[in-house]
């Protein structure tokens, strides 16, 4: 079982998320109402027919459509699952002149695209670029932590989640992620404290229950591990949290549940 929950377990799938944060801000930068409408139509097309959107965005780029055209092309590439190309374009757009306050969001989108591409090192670089421009964004610290988790840099993961929680201390998803990072370092008592705190904030969180069950399993407390896994499975029913709960239950039976 993965020791660190992937972002899709906690929020909607990245390809949908990527379409959202920049759109209204980028539209505001469009020079006129016609360009704004063109940008919105291109983004909608990227979601409905990304291959066609790619062609439309390409023609718009040739017509010097600027940032909105480049962003639309990147979104079309995401929907086509051409993640490295999308991420590269987003990184380039983040460094382009004239992007101003949009740059942190663009770099964050680039990082998410690199995560979808499975390139955690490049994702971490993009998230770090975003944080250099927007150091008070808790979600950016959590994004960087997820990339570092893929690299198994657990101390850095914990540090970034400390920063995220200092900004937003009542986030159960951050507490679950830090619990996982601490458990990976053998800090089971601290990890259990985080999981308990997450469950106080969100008592029916299947992710927190799975994490607490995994901590109990590693500590050899199989009765409590089973209880938490069973509770998570009952709440989640289906999905990744439910799958993780089933895996945890199986591991409690395998070789006495030893880690």
Distance CA 21, CA 252 (A): 41
User: In this structure, are 127 and 194 located in the same domain?
Assistant: no
- 157, 185, 206 — which closes off a domain? 157
In a domain, 113, yes or no: yes
User: In this structure, are 140 and 14 located in the same domain?
Assistant: yes
User: In this structure, are 13 and 128 located in the same domain?
Assistant: yes
pLDDT of residue 190: 98
pLDDT of residue 253: 87
Q: Which helix (H) or strand (E) holds 116?
A: helix 103-117
In a domain, 79, yes or no: yes
Residue 192 clears pLDDT 90, i.e. is over it = yes
User: In this structure, are 142 and 235 located in the same domain?
Assistant: no
- 110, 133, 157 — which closes off a domain? 157
Residue 9 clears pLDDT 80, i.e. is over it = no
User: In this structure, are 148 and 201 located in the same domain?
Assistant: no
User: In this structure, are 142 and 191 located in the same domain?
Assistant: no
User: In this structure, are 202 and 225 located in the same domain?
Assistant: yes
Distance CA 67, CA 26 (A): 8
Instruction: Collapse the DSSP code of 248 into the 3-class scheme (helix H, G, I; strand E, B; otherwise coil) and give the result.
Output: helix
Q: If pLDDT is split at 50, 70 and 90, which confidence band does 32 have? A: low
Residue 186 clears pLDDT 60, i.e. is over it = yes
User: In this structure, are 2 and 89 located in the same domain?
Assistant: yes
Residue 75 structural domain: 1-157
Single pTM value for the model? 0.84
- The winner for highest mean pLDDT among 43-47, 123-127, 235-239 is 123-127
Residue 7 clears pLDDT 80, i.e. is over it = no
Reduced DSSP (H G I as helix, E B as strand, rest coil) percent helix, strand, coil of the chain, to 5: 80, 0, 20
CATH classification of the domain holding 253: 1.25.40.10
Cα dihedral sign for 33, 94, 114, 136? negative
- 108, 126, 157 — which closes off a domain? 157
pLDDT by residue (tens digit) across 126-146? Answer: 999 999 999 999 999 999 999
- Domains contained in the chain, number: 2
Average pLDDT over residues 32-60: 91
Which position has the token pair 């998803």?
173
Average pLDDT, the chain: 87
pLDDT by residue (tens digit) across 104-115? Answer: 999 999 999 999
Kindly report the number of other CB atoms within 10 A of residue 209's CB atom: 29
pLDDT by residue (tens digit) across 83-106? Answer: 999 999 999 999 998 788 889 999
Instruction: Collapse the DSSP code of 165 into the 3-class scheme (helix H, G, I; strand E, B; otherwise coil) and give the result.
Output: helix
In a domain, 165, yes or no: no
């Amino acid at each position: 079982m993965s020791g660190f929950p992937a972002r899709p377990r906690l929020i909607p799938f990245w390809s949908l998320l990527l379409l959202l944060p920049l759109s209204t801000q980028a539209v505001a930068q469009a020079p006129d109402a016609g360009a704004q409408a063109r940008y919105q139509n291109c983004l909608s097309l990227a979601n409905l027919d990304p291959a066609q959107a790619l062609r439309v965005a390409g023609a718009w780029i040739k017509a010097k459509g600027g940032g909105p055209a480049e962003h639309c092309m990147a979104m079309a590439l995401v929907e086509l699952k051409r993640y490295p190309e999308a991420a590269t374009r987003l990184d380039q757009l983040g460094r382009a002149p004239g992007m101003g306050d949009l740059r942190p969001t663009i770099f964050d989108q680039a990082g998410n695209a690199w995560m979808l591409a499975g390139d955690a090192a490049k994702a971490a670089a993009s998230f770090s670029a975003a944080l250099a421009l927007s150091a008070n964004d808790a979600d950016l610290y959590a994004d960087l932590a997820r990339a570092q988790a893929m690299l198994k840099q657990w101390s850095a993961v914990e540090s970034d989640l400390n920063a995220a929680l200092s900004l937003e201390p009542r986030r159960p998803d951050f507490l679950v992620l830090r619990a996982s990072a601490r458990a990976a370092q053998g800090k089971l008592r601290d990890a259990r404290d985080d999981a308990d705190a997450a469950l106080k904030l969100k008592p029916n969180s299947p992710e927190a229950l799975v994490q607490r069950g995994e901590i109990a399993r590693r500590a050899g407390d199989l009765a409590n591990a089973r209880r938490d896994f069973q509770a998570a499975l009952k709440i989640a029913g289906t999905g990744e949290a439910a799958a993780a709960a089933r895996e945890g239950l199986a591991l409690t039976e395998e070789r006495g549940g030893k880690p």
